[in-house]
């Protein structure tokens, strides 16, 4: 045990106790809230359907060619195990359906089956993690027109409807085998670059496709279905079929979850304000946390004010049972493993900060109309030593604390990644 960390933690315990916060109980609660760490940061959203991997479009793009990309499922598992070893607390791993154990020999994406995820289930049991599974409707010839489930071509719609049905069946199978609900989030790249007079027609097509997909019911203890909106996609700047208004309406009407990707909104919008607006109407909200920079949605999550605000909204509403926290970004221009750990640790830190907040004191100021006291207290709380609580949390989980883990990743890059 690092004595300096222990002394620092004892001081932090006393400081937070002044506000009625028991840091040990906070850590216990933090330990119980899982985060879903996305695997596609490690393979640049390429998957393993074919021996030659790489994105072929469909409104999604990973940039950069830094050494060490996972080119096989074995390399992906190896990298994920490194990530798991450096992120404290309960974890799930989120997959794209193209990341099944296909061994590069999947003749058609529609041939997907539960057999392709048996090894993932075995790996997850060994790693003590859950799995989420999302259908991939991109990088495929039947997505080249710019439309999938909303296409005017009935054959294209039918193909993707059946595909998503198969992915949902696999997700339910995974949830049943692991005894942990598998979240299956549907995002489609449908839309157009320029003026589109037939927007209504495409959205009616999408609604009918969704009706067909979700007509098949599964036990919620095995699968949680969610739909994910986007403001626009690459090459779809004028019209995105699956807008926030469309999917939110559909989710509320049909009892589905709603996925909020923090990079999928206008730069002046914040997801933190949306949580309390839609929470009263939904049983499940799924968060895909990324960092938008201008119009790019998928930069590595950092400990920003908005990330902290999102976690505060969850904790203040006592909604950790209804809001499912996950990451979603991909950057191939830097060490991919290090990027994923950086983002996941930032999410856990933001959650810790939210749990350490003396919310009841702040609300008392608010109820008395003392808005100065509310603002001043919230500002001064930023200086409390949450970092010492974080390092203690890492220590009791046998996870390297801040700064120490960075050299571990640099060694991993030198010994493993650059040799691929």
Residues labelled catalytic: 187, 228, 230, 261, 264, 288, 296, 298, 328
79: which 2 tokens?
């990298």
* Burial class of residue 158, CB neighbours in 10 A (0-12, 13-18, 19+): middle
CB proximity list for 263: less than 8 A, separation 6 or greater:
288, 290, 291, 292, 296, 297, 298, 299, 328, 329
Query: What is the Cα 125 distance to its own chain's centre?
Result: 21
The DSSP output letter for 139 is S
Q: Is the dihedral of CA 335, 336, 340, 346 positive or negative?
A: positive
Distance, in Å, from the CA atom of 76 to the CA atom of 124, rounded to the nearest integer, reads 13
Residues 50, 99 contacting (CB under 8 angstroms): no
Residues 29, 354 contacting (CB under 8 angstroms): no
Continuous segment of H or E residues that includes residue 246: helix 244-254
Pairing of strands 223-228, 182-186: parallel
Continuous segment of H or E residues that includes residue 327: strand 323-327
332 phi-psi bin (left φ>0, alpha ψ -120 to 50, beta other): alpha
Strand partners, 299: 291
Neighbouring C-beta atoms of residue 252, cutoff 10 Å:
13
How large is the greatest C-alpha to C-alpha distance in the chain, in angstroms?
67
Helix/strand/coil for 289? strand
175 phi-psi bin (left φ>0, alpha ψ -120 to 50, beta other): alpha
> What 3 state SS string does 178-199 have?
HCCCEEEEECCCCEECCCCCCH
Distance, in Å, from the CA atom of 336 to the CA atom of 67, rounded to the nearest integer, reads 9
The DSSP output letter for 300 is P
Distance, in Å, from the CA atom of 344 to the CA atom of 360, rounded to the nearest integer, reads 28
């Amino acid at each position: 045990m690092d004595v300096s960390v222990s002394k620092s933690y004892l001081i932090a315990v006393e400081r937070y106790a002044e506000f009625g916060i028991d840091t040990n109980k906070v850590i216990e609660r933090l330990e119980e809230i899982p985060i879903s760490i996305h695997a596609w940061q490690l393979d640049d959203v390429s998957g393993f359907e074919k021996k030659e991997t790489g994105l072929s479009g469909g409104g999604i793009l990973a940039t950069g060619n830094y050494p060490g990309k996972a080119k096989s499922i074995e390399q992906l598992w190896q990298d994920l195990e490194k990530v798991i070893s450096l992120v404290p607390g309960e974890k799930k791993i989120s997959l794209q359906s193209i990341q099944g154990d296909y061994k590069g020999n999947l003749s058609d994406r529609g041939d997907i089956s539960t057999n392709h995820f048996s090894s993932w289930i075995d790996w997850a049991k060994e790693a003590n993690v859950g799995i989420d599974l999302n259908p991939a409707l991109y990088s495929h010839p039947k997505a080249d027109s710019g439309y999938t489930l909303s296409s005017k071509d009935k054959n294209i719609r039918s193909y993707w409807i059946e595909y998503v049905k198969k992915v949902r069946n696999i997700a339910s199978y995974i949830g049943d085998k692991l005894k942990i609900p598998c979240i299956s989030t549907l995002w489609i790249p449908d839309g157009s670059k320029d003026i589109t007079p037939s927007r209504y027609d495409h959205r009616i097509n999408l609604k009918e496709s969704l009706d067909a997909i979700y007509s098949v019911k599964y036990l919620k203890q095995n699968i949680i279905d969610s739909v994910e909106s986007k403001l626009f996609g690459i090459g779809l700047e004028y019209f995105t079929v699956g807008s926030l208004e469309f999917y939110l309406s559909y989710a509320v009407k049909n009892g589905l979850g709603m996925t909020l990707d923090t990079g999928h909104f206008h730069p002046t919008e914040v997801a933190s304000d949306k949580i309390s607006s839609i929470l009263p109407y939904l049983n499940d909200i799924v968060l895909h946390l990324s960092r938008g920079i201008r119009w790019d949605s998928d930069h590595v999550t950092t400990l920003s004010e908005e990330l902290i605000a999102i976690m505060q909204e969850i904790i203040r509403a006592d909604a950790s049972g209804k809001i499912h926290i996950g990451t979603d970004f991909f950057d191939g221009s830097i060490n991919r493993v290090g990027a994923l750990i950086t983002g996941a640790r930032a999410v856990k830190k933001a959650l810790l900060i939210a749990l350490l907040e003396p919310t009841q004191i702040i609300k008392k100021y608010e109820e008395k109309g003392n808005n100065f006291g509310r603002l001043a207290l919230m500002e001064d709380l930023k200086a409390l030593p949450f970092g010492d609580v974080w390092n203690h949390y890492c220590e009791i989980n046998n996870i390297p604390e801040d700064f120490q883990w960075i050299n571990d990743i640099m060694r991993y890059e030198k010994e493993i990644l650059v040799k691929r």
